[in-house]
Amino acid sequence: MDLLYHSTRNSTPAVTASAAILMGLAPDGGLFVPEKIPAFTFPAEALSSMSYKETAYEIMRLFFTDFTPEELKGCIDRAYGKRFDIPEITRLHEAGDAWFLELFHGETIAFKDMALSILPHLMTTAAKKQGVNDEIVILTATSGDTGKAALAGFADVPGTRIIVFYPKSGVSAIQERQMVTQKGANTFVAGIRGNFDDAQAGVKELFSDREFGAWLASRGKRLSSANSINIGRLVPQIVYYFYAYGRLLEAGKIKAGDEINITVPTGNFGNILAAWYAKQMGLPVKTLLCASNENRVLVDFFKKGVYDRNRPFILTNSPSMDILVSSNLERLLYAVSGEDCSAVSGRMQELSRTGVYEITKEMQEKLGCFCSGSATQEETLGQIRGLYEKTGYVIDTHTAVASFVYDSYRRETGDETPTVIASTASPFKFTRSVLGALEPGFPDLPDLELADRLSGISGVPVPAAVSGLKDAPVLHDTVIETAQMKELVRSVLSD
């Protein structure tokens, strides 16, 4: 029997994995969830000898049941190869009292590569399986990393177009340059005068706009998403938590069945949700640490059971986490509500109308495996400096938020459980902030020149993803108001 998917806001109709991947967002605005979370039946000790590709297949086949083994293995083989600068795809680095899961060895040096390298292949395979000949239009909002990774993944993929919106003043100089220099006849990038939440709200509005959908259909086009709201993006993120467990087994740091903690710097909630899915599948996870920057909306939710986006939006030195509306939290809300679609739908309406919703005590009790904490910008920089001085290892600002929250948790609880920290971006993606921590008073040079300085300090070569930007021409220079997003998409797709 195929594993079917339905909206978090309506349990009918249920669709196959390929249909859910192709649609991205459910027609009612909800997120697709599996009718049940499958169990990982492999013995845990087997993970110690499995490659990344092998682990990916064993996880994904449980979710994408209408893909044949040949189709799924083909997608995996095409995704996890030359796009990554190490053969193992990701690795664990022990530093201090934790293991850092380096998810930044792809061509855009951020964790989004881990899933967005395979999503285009899943999507084009899904289109064939569904008998869809329409052009697939990927419409995505980004807080910095998803945009470039999606652009790189979909660039010049036949039968697709991709349009990315990013907050013009809300990403790092390297992140912006990666996007605006993106090649590909099917790519388009626009900055908006607003923040990530504004961009994401505009994209969601287009997905639920029936008149716009009819206009697209009349031109042989259909929308889909590359954000982690797409189940085809979320499931591949589950893989690396199983892979990390296997590496700890292989290194003799744990025994099969031993519990681990996982700490994730969190913005849109997709990456930590993937870790929660892994736990539900049977991965021995004790505690999930949700790490936030000064935009503490998730910390307050876990501590108080109230989600309240009505607060100042703070631009920080960990910009990919500068988010007040964490879309993937809806999937967790669905689970802890007892899979009550009406309860989810009602709270999403409250969030849209008032900016606030509250969960019941019973729902809050089901969140017991989560702990949360936050770091200020000063604490983030101090964590980068402190870890470097102690170990010689350099981390980026987002990873530093997670590292600080973990260290605080460990001191407060005395919990010595082996802990994996999701290292979500290379320090070279945020050179100015990282150098500000390591070398206060450094010369005010362009970000691309600062990368050479960081290389000298860290002993790590400048990644090709950064060095290649120096002479890359700007190909996308559009900047618009958020109210112009629909008009712009129409214009781009009318070409």
Q: Is 22 helix (H, G, I), strand (E, B) or coil?
A: helix
Are residues 9 and 341 in contact, defined by beta-carbon separation less than 8 angstroms? yes
- 50, 169, 238, 278, 454 from 244: Cα distances, Å: 11, 35, 11, 12, 27
Catalytic residue among 36, 73, 82, 112: 112
User: What count of other Cβ atoms lies within 10 Å of the Cβ of residue 244?
Assistant: 27
246 forms bridges with which residues in the sheet? none
Element (H, E) at 13: strand 10-15
Strands 478-481, 187-193: pairing is parallel
Element (H, E) at 233: helix 231-250
- Could you tell me which of 192, 142, 167, 173 has the C-alpha nearest to residue 314? 167
């600068």: which residue's tokens? 85
325: burial class by Cβ within 10 Å (0-12, 13-18, 19+)? buried
CA-CA-CA-CA torsion for 234, 212, 189, 139, nearest 10 degrees?
Answer: 10
Q: Is 366 in the active site?
A: no
Strands 32-34, 91-95: pairing is unpaired
Cα(149)–Cα(139) distance, integer angstroms: 13
List, edge to edge, every strand of the sheet that includes 91-95. Answer: 91-95, 98-102, 419-423, 260-265, 285-292, 370-374
222 forms bridges with which residues in the sheet? 136
Burial 166-198 (b: 16+ CB within 10 A, else e): bbbebbbbbbbbbbbbbebebbbbbbbebbbbb
CA-CA-CA-CA torsion for 36, 297, 162, 399, nearest 10 degrees?
Answer: -90
163 forms bridges with which residues in the sheet? 139, 188
Exposure on the CB side of residue 44, measured as CA atoms within 13 A: 19
484: burial class by Cβ within 10 Å (0-12, 13-18, 19+)? middle
- Torsions phi, psi for 141 (to 5 deg): -105, 145
Please, which residues have CB within 8 angstroms of residue 193's CB and are 6 or more apart in sequence?
Answer: 168, 169, 479, 480, 481, 482
Catalytic positions are: 112
